[in-house]
Chain A
Amino acid sequence: MTDDTYNFAYLDEQTKRMIRRAILKGLAIPGYQVPFASREMPMPYGWGTGGVQVSAAVMTPEDRFKVIDQGADDTTNAVSIRSFFQRTAGVATTTTTAEATVIQTRHRIPEAPLTEGQILVYQVPIPEPLRFLEPRESETRKMHSLEEYGLMHVKLYEDISRHGHIATSYAYPVKVEGRYVMDPSPIPKFDNPKLSDCPAIQLFGAGREQRIYALPPYTRVVSLDFEDHPFEPSKADHPCGLCGAEDSYLDEVIVDDAGGRIFVCSDTDHCEGRQAAGHRGKDAA
């Protein structure tokens, strides 16, 4: 059921064209943050307005749309964004990663490998990887243009000297094609390796901060590290309690008043698919 008082996918065509230009520029300069005239959307800033604008700009009536938040299709904000596009674009939706043509995500990259022809749209709260080292946009833009990333390495080094480890567990900074340092959005660093050499197009939208950036297919993306302290993706050291997967990112769920806990896949589609294929974990019903 579409709401025909609004244009297809809510935004007017002029706005979509402006956003597509920003996306194309972003694809041409991987990892570079392109300023764009973000619109007020009918959902609050910070709730995925950047991702929604990017999805609206790339969406066609033939697309099959999937939305995940924390890896799950049924978290409240994922439900809300999915129903927004069902209502304003009338596109088909799916929860199956392999069937989706456009996937909007917050905080995760799906476990199933993405393929050519798919677009992964990230919701980004703070697009600037240097922001918490330097609060001024005028300064950080200069640092990017001069490729002046020493501050970031110093921060990571200080982590190691203080804690023995790099104390960043999500939104872990990456370098794109040896040039721009980029914030991969607040995905757990477990997901970082999936950014690199990915056959799908990856688009990042930050609505409130008015920035779009992109990774074209098969872009080389390297998580920042040191030779003697190599980057290591991490996850809870357990198999999934429902499907038994050993290699997926896990949520820790508290199941009783005594603080008993089990670990289950954060990617609900991945977990359900494995269970349907007959895999069982120790906590499965």
Chain B
Amino acid sequence: MYVAVKGGERAIRNAHAWLAEERRGDPAVTELSVAQIREQLALAVNRVMAEGSLHDPDLAALAIKQARGDLIEAIFLIRAYRTTLPRFGVSAPIRTAAMACDRRISATFKDLPGGQVLGPTFDYTHRLVDFKLAAEGDAPRAPTGAADPGDVPHVMDFLNREGLIEEARPDDTPPPDLTREPLELPASRALRLQALARADEGFTLGLAYSTQRGYARNHPFVGELRIGAVAVEMEIPELGFAIEIGEITVTECETVNQFTGSKTEPPQFTRGYGLVFGQTERKAISMALVDRALRWEELGEDNVGAPAQDAEFVLYHADNIQATGFLEHIKLPHYVDFQSELELVRKLRRTAGADGMQEAAQ
């Protein structure tokens, strides 16, 4: 006697209740506040904002709390929220030359106007576990100095004056919007950069690393890496001019890449570009390397068949929300298809078995 299983609804309800309990953990331990996450796990918040494509530190912190620290899950929450938001308009391009830099370094020059500013970086820390942090202590204080107001010129502009680096021609074409139009190939550089800006950090890092190890090597130098706050301006039709509507922190990386020339282009330095929300420099540098690798066609380089040169491969697989959803969907029931495969394998085995016996008889 057999009674079909029922109760999916109750199982789901109970699973969610259990999840909520596990999320909170031991109630004897103080609950994390959203502000604590925003302030003390700021780099996680930055990653969620960048790959979630929504600049809102409080919301990102809340998503991290809800996702139990699973950042891809938090990014998913942000994406699903952002897609429901009404769109009022488009901001003017941000001016990173006017950035209030927390960090600004160039690997291509020893010193330069505006100076090298290390900023709050893990670079040069010794990666020794700091057991003092396990005990709660006073808030550390760093020495302060006067900020240098005024624009910080881009390093690339200095090279450009000599004509040694490819011209980045201004382009007023409105960039396509990946979140409102389906991805179509071939993708323009603007569209590729848009996809890379929200691409999975690990995937982008892996691709960038592969170019360094020889899969479409492009000899990158970090021409400049800068992190800081920039004003966001938007033109209001009623006013007829742009006004500042807020401030965001971004990381910008420009690479200078050696280039010995091709059939169509003279020997010169070429560029890779990365721009990401928040302090996210691993991602920004990776993005610049992958951007440069994807530009092989316009620079007349050879396609050596490397994954990082393949726009379709990169763009179709860089989004972690798409990837994780499809990967994890194999957890869903597939027993109908499995059943048809069972029937097929049984049939094929019957045929093969019969053939085998025939051969043995001959």
Residues in A lying within 8 Å of B, measured CB to CB: 6, 10, 12, 35-42, 44-47, 49, 69-71, 74-80, 83, 106-108, 125, 136-138, 163-165, 167, 169-171, 186-190, 208, 210, 234-236, 241-242, 249-253, 255, 262, 264, 266, 268, 271, 283-285
- 28 sampled A-B residue pairs with Cβ under 8 A: A37-B179, A37-B180, A37-B182, A38-B182, A40-B76, A44-B324, A45-B324, A47-B329, A69-B332, A74-B7, A74-B8, A75-B333, A79-B12, A80-B12, A107-B337, A137-B185, A137-B316, A138-B312, A167-B344, A188-B337, A208-B322, A210-B183, A234-B347, A236-B343, A242-B4, A252-B339, A264-B2, A266-B339
The reply to whether the CB of B18 lies closer than 8 angstroms to some CB of chain A is no
Q: How far is the CB of A199 from chain B (nearest CB, A)?
A: 24
- Cβ-defined partner of A75 (8 Å) among B8, B86, B339: B8
| B12:A250 contact, CB within 8 angstroms | no
B341: min CB distance to chain A, Å: 5
Taking the nearest CB of chain B, how far is it from the CB of A242, in angstroms? 7
Bound-state CA distance A256–B244 (Å) is 70
Q: Measured between C-beta atoms, what is the minimum distance from A194 to chain B in Å?
A: 14
Shortest Cβ distance from A172 into B: residue: B340
Residues of B contacting A45 in the complex (Cβ-Cβ under 8 angstroms): 321-322, 324-326, 329
Question: B3 at interface (Cβ–Cβ under 8 A)?
Answer: yes
Interface digits, B223-260 against A, CB 8 Å rule (1 contact, 0 not)? 00000000000000000000000000000000000000
Asked if B28 CB lies within 8 Å of chain A CBs, one says: no
A46 and B329 contacting across the interface, CB-CB below 8 Å: yes
- Chain A residues contacting B112 (CB-CB under 8 Å) are none
A37–B316 Cα distance when bound, in Å, is 14
User: B-side binding surface: helix, strand, loop or mixed?
Assistant: helix
* Interface residue tally for chain B (C-beta within 8 Å): 52
| Chain A residue nearest to B178 in the complex (CB) | A37
Q: Is the CB of A44 within 8 A of B336?
A: no
Number of A-B residue pairs having CB atoms within 8 Å of each other in the complex: 153
Q: Name the CB-closest residue of A to B76.
A: A44
Q: Is the CB of A74 within 8 A of B6?
A: yes
Residue numbers in B under 8 Å from A79 (CB-CB): 8-9, 12
Find out whether the CB atom of B351 lies under 8 angstroms from the CB atom of A164: yes
Do A255 and B76 form a contact, CB below 8 Å, given A169-B341, A234-B340, A249-B336? Answer: no
A136 close to B86 (CB less than 8 A): no
**Given A163-B351, A255-B2; A42-B80 close (CB under 8 Å):** yes
Cβ–Cβ contact B3 & A285, under 8 A: yes
Is there an interface contact between A262 and B340, defined as CB atoms closer than 8 Å?
Answer: no
Q: A42-B80, A46-B329, A69-B332 are in contact. List 10 more A-B contacts (CB 8 A).
A: A38-B182, A40-B83, A41-B80, A45-B326, A45-B329, A47-B325, A76-B11, A106-B332, A138-B185, A241-B2
B182 touching A235, Cβ below 8 Å: no
Please, which residues of chain A bring their CB within 8 A of the CB of B6?
74
With A35-B182, A44-B76 known as contacts, the answer to whether A234 contacts B333 (CB < 8 A) is: no
**Cβ of B10 to closest chain A Cβ, rounded Å:** 9
Contacts of B179 in A (CB 8 A): 37
Produce 1/0 per residue, B1-44, CB < 8 A to A. 11111111101100000000000000000000000000000000
| Residues on the B chain within 8 Å of A253, using CB | 2
Q: Mark B290-332, 1 if CB is under 8 A from A, else 0.
A: 0000000000000000000000100010000110111111001
Chain A residues within 8 Å of B342, by CB: 252
Contact A44 B325 (CB under 8 A): yes
B10 nearest CB neighbor, chain A only: A79
CA distance A108 to B4 in the complex (A): 18
Find the B residue at minimum CB distance from A70.
B336
Which residue of chain A has the shortest Cβ distance to B5 in the bound complex? A74
Residues of B within 8 A of A39 (CB): 83
Considering the complex, give the chain A residue whose CB is closest to the CB of B180. A37
Contact residues, B32-81 vs A (CB, 8 A): 76, 79-80
- CB contacts (< 8 Å) of A242 on chain B: these are 2, 4
Given the interface pairs A137-B312, A186-B337, A252-B342, the reply to whether A78 lies near B2 with Cβ below 8 Å is no
Pairs of residues from A and B, 4 with the lowest C-beta to C-beta distance, nearest first? A45-B325, A46-B329, A44-B325, A169-B340
Partner of B340, one of A41, A125, A170: A170
